[in-house]
Structure 1
Amino acid sequence: MTELPLVLLHAFPLDSRMWNDVRAPLSSVTRFITPDQRGLGRTPLPESGREPDLADAARDVVALLDQLEIERAVLGGCSMGGYLTMAVLRVAPERVGGLVLIDTRAGADPEQAAANRRAIADRAESEGHAGWLAGDMLPNLLGATTRSARPELAGTVRELVDGQDPAGIAWAQRAMAARPDSTETLRGADVPALVLVGEEDTLTTPEVAREMAEVLPDAEFAVLPAVGHLSPMESPATVADTIAAWLPSVR
């Protein structure tokens, strides 16, 4: 088994169940940990009284590593999980021995995108999010090939989205809207990195992912064919195999 544990953080607006289909193959090669982020899945939203900030969620990850007595881990995530990974790099870079960045980006939101996140947060708090949020997001979450060939996966994603706590949805959107640009953080990340992106990802395109990979000092880059933004759910065997083949490069 690979020496360092692998911790992968889920996308928005899902929870750790998005990793279910990669769990067995990755658990066979390393200690594999997939927490729910604050306010989503089974993790409650703390009452901090502070403005939503991914730095607080990053400290949750560090606290989990402490609890599990893990000094360093290969850390990564999909989409928002990637943003949170970059936040951990800012808060506690010494705890990160390698990076797995899947369908995510280094840049901050442009103002219009941030404003849209805040509007979604307000609506989720005022009327809940079940139904409309999944409906709005699904065309961008899943690639065109997946939507055509595996329509049942859209139902799985919808179920995960609808089952989240509206307060957690709102907190995550506001935290993501406020996140800083992480380009220089990644430029200083002197650890092995793996950058994966779906060929049909329209939210974080292969071009955006390639630019991120080029910033990292030691990165492998792969475009996954015929999948979109949720590549670990759309093509779990390819994602698991690619990560497993890369892990031995982490010392």
Structure 2
Amino acid sequence: MRPVDPILLLHPFPLDARVWDPLRARLSAEAQLVDPHLPGWGGTALPDADPSLDAVAEHVLRVLDGRGLDRVTAVGAALGGFVLMALLRRAPERVAAAVFTGTQAIADPDRALATRAMVIRRATEEGTGWLADFMLPQLLTAEDPALRRVIDEQSPRTVAWYAAAMAARPDSRPLLRALDLDALVVHGAEDPIMGAPVAEELAELTGAPLHFVEGAAHLPAYEQPDRFLDVVLPWLRARPAAAT
């Protein structure tokens, strides 16, 4: 078996690194894991900057520097995929390969921008007591008390900051089209937020294999971890590891 690059896990909104718990045992048997809370989540501090995924990408680069890692395979889920694209804009040489899951390359269309504005307003005015009821039916195919608790614990300021940062992100299609990126796209077959055409476009932009995970909505890595890893791990093992 070939060695596998260190794996950077970039989690979705409005969660933290605990979303990777179902994958950790199998992944850690394959490679070194770097699975930070993105700044502001899980009780960590927000960047001292206006809302921007570039600021988050800079934080991630500092995390890699602190681990002494020059290159990683990055797995970006939803928001984490947007952060991965920001990382590719700033330092593509640090990403040996990329797994995109539940994410898209385009900037927010008007409908999504309206939803972001609603999230910002309600988080600012009401806190986050309403957020799990709003988000969970979009994230999963069934109720999940553990994930509900994770959402309930997040800071309203963090939720609003990231909603604004996602709304401000650029269209990443030109970037992905220009990069010679070794990529894989894994998408929930029942994703109500981003349908199959979103995943198909991302696969076309990157020249990546595309797999749909049955029995999963927006978070296939959480909802169907074994099915997700049954796609991802053979792909990882088939790649020559980069020097780190």
Q: Is the 8 A contact 1:54 1:175 kept in 2?
A: yes
Q: Is the 8 A contact 1:7 1:73 kept in 2?
A: yes
TM-score by length of 1: 0.91
C-alpha distance in 1 between matches for 2:219 and 2:137 = 11
Structure 1, 238-247 or 98-107: larger mean CA deviation = 238-247
Structure 2 unaligned residues grouped into runs of 5+: none
Corresponding position of 1:6: 7
Give the deviation of 1:115 after TM superposition.
2.7
Task: List structure 1 runs of 4+ shifted beyond 4 angstroms.
Answer: none
C-alpha distance in 2 between matches for 1:107 and 1:3 = 30
Query: How much identity, in percent, do the aligned residues show?
Result: 40
Give the deviation of 1:239 after TM superposition.
1.2
Q: Is the 8 A contact 2:43 2:154 kept in 1?
A: no
C-alpha distance in 2 between matches for 1:231 and 1:140 = 12
**Which of 226, 234, 246 pairs up with 2:235?**
246
Q: What code does the residue aligned with 2:24 have?
A: R
TM-score by length of 2: 0.94
Q: Is the 8 A contact 1:2 1:247 kept in 2?
A: no
Please state whether the residue corresponding to 2:201 is helix, strand or coil: helix
Matched, 1:118 2:110: no
Corresponding position of 2:186: 196
Q: Is the 8 A contact 1:98 1:250 kept in 2?
A: no
Cα deviations across residues 82-116 of structure 1 (Å, max 9, x unaligned)? 01100100011110100010111111101231132
C-alpha distance in 2 between matches for 1:23 and 1:173 = 27
Matched, 1:90 2:89: yes
Structure 1 unaligned residues grouped into runs of 5+: none
Q: Root-mean-square deviation (CA), in Å?
A: 1.3
C-alpha distance in 1 between matches for 2:104 and 2:153 = 26
Q: What code does the residue aligned with 1:103 have?
A: G
Structure 1, 240-249 or 59-68: larger mean CA deviation = 240-249
**Number of matched pairs:** 239
Q: Is the 8 A contact 2:23 2:221 kept in 1?
A: yes
Q: Is the 8 A contact 1:120 1:170 kept in 2?
A: yes
